[in-house]
Amino acid sequence: MRNLRLLIAYDGTDFHGWQRQPNAPTIQGLLEESIAKIVREPVTLQGSGRTDAGVHATGQVGNLLTSCRIPCRNLLKALNDALPPTVRIRRVDEVAEDFHARYSARSKTYRYRIYQRDVCPPFLCRFVNHHPEPLDSATMAQAASLLEGEHDFTSFAATEREEDQHSLRLGSNIRRIDRSRVLTHPRLHLIVYEVESSGFLRHMARNIVGTLLQVGCGKLSPQDAVRILGARDRSLAGPTAPAQGLCLMKVVYD
């Protein structure tokens, strides 16, 4: 059996997230169906993580086991010919049989883009959170930096009701954020939040952004981010930011 690693990009707007579902279009479901037709055997595609409905990726990673001997270069072309233009396979590589897209990952980086002009261009609206009201990006950056390090991120995790198959166990919400920063691109009218972590809880990145937006609006201070983090209470953090602004940029492996 060969173990193949895929580097995947997608526009998540028209999909109900990564994980396959019986009655809804998903990235995993689409890819497994397309790959199975080409290699002529059923496959299971493991992903580095499950992006939510409407979330995008330019650096999602998946792996699958197959007995098919089609060369990686040919498989890459065949897959992109079969897939819709909103989903692209950027690379196909044969890797060691113990590689696993999720369990071998060391860190993931997400970016969240906030567009600040009064009118959002139609070719951007699927990929940004349009927020025309003024934001103080400097205070947002201060708050973001205070989240770096290892903490219990219960305040920024999905609630039990939102978790469905994700069980909340004691200590399971501890994560390490290696980089949490806010960047401004005045010429593009963008504020960008970039976060790198060894692992993310469900809705964690979007809940952090929702809180940073409240800091930027003056409803919270940067130090409130520390208070909210320590309280381990989801109700104290900001609302979950819209999905379309979030993109999985990169997954790092040894």
Matching fold, domains 2-95 and 106-253: yes
d(CA 103, CA 20): 19
CA distance 199 to 172: 11
Residue 84: name the closest of 39, 164, 27 by CA.
Answer: 27
| Phi/psi of residue 43, nearest 5 degrees | -135, 155
Give me the helices (H) in the chain, please: 27-39, 72-82, 137-145, 160-163, 204-216, 222-231
> Which pLDDT belongs to residue 167?
41
> What pLDDT was estimated at residue 7?
98
Rounded mean pLDDT of 77-86? 98
Query: Could you give the 3-state DSSP secondary structure of residue 38?
Result: helix
Q: Kindly give the interhelix angle for 204-216 and 137-145, rounded to the nearest 10 degrees.
A: 140
Condensed to tens digits (0 to 9), the pLDDT of residues 120-146 reads 999 999 999 999 999 999 999 999 999
Residues 6+ apart with CB under 8 A from 244: 13, 54, 55, 56, 125, 126, 127, 128, 129
Assign a CATH topology to domain 106-253.
Answer: Alpha-Beta Plaits (3.30.70)
Q: pTM of whole model > 0.85?
A: yes
Q: 11, 14, 52, 152: which one is catalytic?
A: 52
pLDDT class for 112, splitting at 50, 70, 90? very high
Q: How confident is the model at residue 160 (pLDDT cuts 50, 70, 90)?
A: low
- The H-or-E segment that residue 90 falls in is strand 87-95
Domain extent listing, the chain: 2-95, 106-253
Q: Which tokens belong to 172? A: 């399971």
pLDDT at 165 over 80: no
Does the active-site annotation cover 52?
yes
With 80 as the cut, is the pLDDT of residue 30 above it? yes
- Position 159 scores a pLDDT of 76
Please, are residues 162 and 202 in contact by the beta-carbon 8 Å criterion?
yes
With cut-offs at 50, 70 and 90, classify the pLDDT of residue 163: very low
Fold of 2-95: Alpha-Beta Plaits (3.30.70)
